Structure 1
Amino acid sequence: MKSLLGLLGALALSLGLATQSPAAERGPVTNLPLPRFVSMKASEGNIRRGPSLTHRIDWVFKRKDVPLEITAEHGHWRRVRDRDGAGGWIHYSLLSGVRTAIVEEDLLDLHAKPDPSTLVVARLEFGVIARIESCSVDWCRISAGGYTGWSPKSAIWGVRPRETLD
């Protein structure tokens, strides 16, 4: 009975009928963690109401490399949301596993080391998309516009608060 409930929960999540629950920590299609971050591979992608071409297009993401959070899977479709919580279903071929982040504060200081007292190597404007190179518990090494440095994790969107990346 427990496994049936887990299957029903995963099915409801993949169809967008439920929120994440402990029984649905991995995607039913990829077996990857849910939720998880990805980025837009394409420069344009239709966001649909449901996981098929027959569903209405609600809007179009028009920014390559923008970070998105996958919250559900259904066949070749992924339900995603952006930093504002807007989202819908997108075909998996338009997504990339490359990790990016979007700057959430104006004139974010990039430091030479993961320490606020170190040299500032660059300042990034609000909304800049940066590639994530690695993350410790509180800091991420990111690159944008030819500059690379360390940002407090709290100043970017595209990585979980306690997530670490090598």
Structure 2
Amino acid sequence: MRSSRFRRLAARALLIGLCLHAPGAVLAEEAGKGPVTNLPLPRYVSLKTDEANVRRGPSLSHRIDWVFRHRDMPLKVTGEFANWRRVEDNEGQGGWVHYTLISGVRTVLFEPERTALRSQPDPEASEVAEAEAGVIGRLGACKPDWCRVTAGGETGWVEKSAIWGVDPEELRD
């Protein structure tokens, strides 16, 4: 009886190891493109639903560590395995979510207590609106230091350093 329990534990440890380090489970540090989607790793996406289970590994049998509860929340994809994506939030917390729960629509999270949305990508341009920390906005065009963002019905330019969900060197039309 003891040896069968040991075999079950050893098999479970092997399965966990395979899920975390399977040939198809590529993490951002290992490659520039995902083996499933052929899209860049890391990359930003957004949460498509109001609620998403975040699992310890890439399958329904893995434990749910927590639940993301904010539709449109920006996430960083850092790995892929079959229909699963390894994601992180702005605090570096994450895990595996099913690909149907994420969207390619780009959103950003305002991080400073208050951030001005400006009429032009210039710190001296007039202020169109102001966003508080935690506000989620839709990402538009990005220049070297500025991005156009729509949040709360207002559209304006914000400095990249004030938002999470876009790489510092990323440019968008």
Q: For the residues of structure 1 that align with 2:123 and 2:73, how far apart are their CA atoms?
A: 26
The one-letter amino acid of 2:53's match is: N
Superposition pairs of residues 80-159 of structure 1, within 5 angstroms: 80-159=87-166
Gap change, CA 1:74 and 1:13, over 3 Å in 2: closer
State the shift of 1:86 in Å: 0.3
Instruction: Determine the structure 2 residue equivalent to 1:53.
Output: 60
State the shift of 1:164 in Å: 0.7
Q: For the residues of structure 2 that align with 1:157 and 1:148, how far apart are their CA atoms?
A: 17
SS in 2 for 1:93: helix
State the shift of 1:15 in Å: 5.9
Instruction: Determine the structure 2 residue equivalent to 1:41.
Output: 48
Partners of 1:13 and 1:72 within 8 A in 2: no
* CA deviation string 1:32-91 (max 9, x = no partner): 000000000001000000000000000000000000000000000000000000000000
Q: For the residues of structure 1 that align with 2:23 and 2:127, how far apart are their CA atoms?
A: 47
Q: For the residues of structure 2 that align with 1:105 and 1:151, how far apart are their CA atoms?
A: 11
- Gap runs ≥5 in structure 1: 1-9
How many residue pairs end up in the alignment?
153
State the shift of 1:165 in Å: 1.2
Partners of 2:26 and 2:35 within 8 A in 1: no
The one-letter amino acid of 2:170's match is: E
Q: Which has the larger radius of gyration?
A: 2
Instruction: Determine the structure 2 residue equivalent to 1:70.
Output: 77
The one-letter amino acid of 2:25's match is: S
Partners of 2:76 and 2:89 within 8 A in 1: yes
- For the aligned residues, what is the CA RMSD? 1.5
Normalized against structure 1, the TM-score is what? Answer: 0.89
Residues 1:20 and 2:29 are matched in the alignment: yes
Partners of 1:111 and 1:122 within 8 A in 2: yes
SS in 2 for 1:131: strand
Stretches of 4+ aligned residues off by more than 6 angstroms: none
Partners of 1:70 and 1:79 within 8 A in 2: yes
Q: For the residues of structure 2 that align with 1:12 and 1:46, how far apart are their CA atoms?
A: 24
